[in-house]
Amino acid sequence: MAKRGRRQPEENEDIRTRHTRRQRRKRRARRARRTVFLFLLLLILIGVVAFATPIFNIQSITISGNEKVPMENLTAASEMLKGQNLFKVHSSRLKEALSSEPYIKDIHIKKILYPPKLKITVVESKPAVCLQTDSGFALVNEDGKVLEIVAEKPYTMPEITGMGGACTVGQTFTADDAEKVETALSLIKLLTDEKLIDKVGSISMQSLTVISFSYDNRLDVICGTANDLAWKITLFREAIMSNRLPENSRGTMDLSASGKAIYTP
């Protein structure tokens, strides 16, 4: 009995320690819950201020980047955004309103918090080639989209020949032969990616077995078929950039033999 009596204070001390620890854990849990509650309350207040009050309503809009698209068309389409909540505005709505503008490739919107305003940057498509139609020359970008139809052929723009079909502004040009369209678009993109398109004079799609184009008013380039077309254009670029081909040389570059670029003066 005496031995048990000596252990009693130690057991009481252990109980008090455990009780103290439990109390501390409860206090920490209450503080954590209170912190989370205050944080959530703060988020709600910020949301109410941002979305449900006129503080962040758009006051002004600036537009830049357009050359072909008339400013009045952009202003009229963007006017609907003025007075709306800054955080609720998305570029998709503006793109939809301007979907009839063929030259628009993309639209970027930058939001300025104070004073609340929008900075709209227009990215326009660039004509890559042209095709002759009954009503004039269709200017087409590298994706085949018809940007506009003009009365006369632009002097510096490559012309695709041998393609019969229809050209509607704002849509991809079509032809009687769908394979010709696909091949022509592929060739335009390859020449654009290799930064060669600016010096291309004309592209002949008269036959899918004898695809050719003129370059820099001095070289007639024969691609042959569309097989390995990407590799052929790469070979051509390497050939004209190398020291093996005399500067300002005139003649024919035959790429139709796979893996070879054969120059004939």
Pairing status of strand 211-215 against strand 165-166: unpaired
Task: Take residue 196 and report the two structure tokens written for it.
Answer: 């060669």
Q: How confident is the model at residue 1 (pLDDT cuts 50, 70, 90)?
A: very low
Kindly state the percentage of the chain with pLDDT values over 70.
88
The confidence score (pLDDT) of residue 8 equals 63
What contacts 216, CB < 8 A, 6 or more positions away? 199, 201
Higher-confidence residue of 126 and 260: namely 126
- Residue range 194-206: average pLDDT? 89
H-helix or E-strand spanning residue 136:
strand 136-140
Of 84-88, 113-117, 203-207, which gets the smallest average pLDDT?
A: 84-88
Residue with tokens 């941002």: 50
Predicted confidence (pLDDT) per residue in 134-172, tens digit: 888 889 898 889 999 999 888 888 888 888 777 888 888
Kindly state the percentage of the chain with pLDDT values over 90.
19
- Other C-beta atoms within 10 Å of 140: how many? 26
Categorise residue 170: left if φ over 0, alpha if ψ from -120 to 50, beta otherwise.
left
> For the residues of 197-257, what is the DSSP string, one character each?
GGGEEEEE-S-TTSEEEEETTTEEEEEESSTTHHHHHHHHHHHHHSTTSPTT--EEEE--S
The confidence score (pLDDT) of residue 48 equals 61
Predicted confidence (pLDDT) per residue in 31-68, tens digit: 777 777 777 767 776 666 555 666 778 888 899 999 99
Higher-confidence residue of 8 and 183: namely 183
The confidence score (pLDDT) of residue 142 equals 85
Whether residue 6 is predicted with pLDDT greater than 60 in this model: the reply is no
Compute the distance between CA of residue 69 and CA of residue 158 in angstroms, rounded to an integer: 23
Q: Could you give all domains of the chain from N- to C-terminal order, each with its CATH number?
A: 55-124 (3.10.20.310), 129-264 (3.40.50)
- Residue range 15-41: average pLDDT? 74
Task: Take residue 218 and report the two structure tokens written for it.
Answer: 């001095």
Compute the distance between CA of residue 81 and CA of residue 95 in angstroms, rounded to an integer: 12
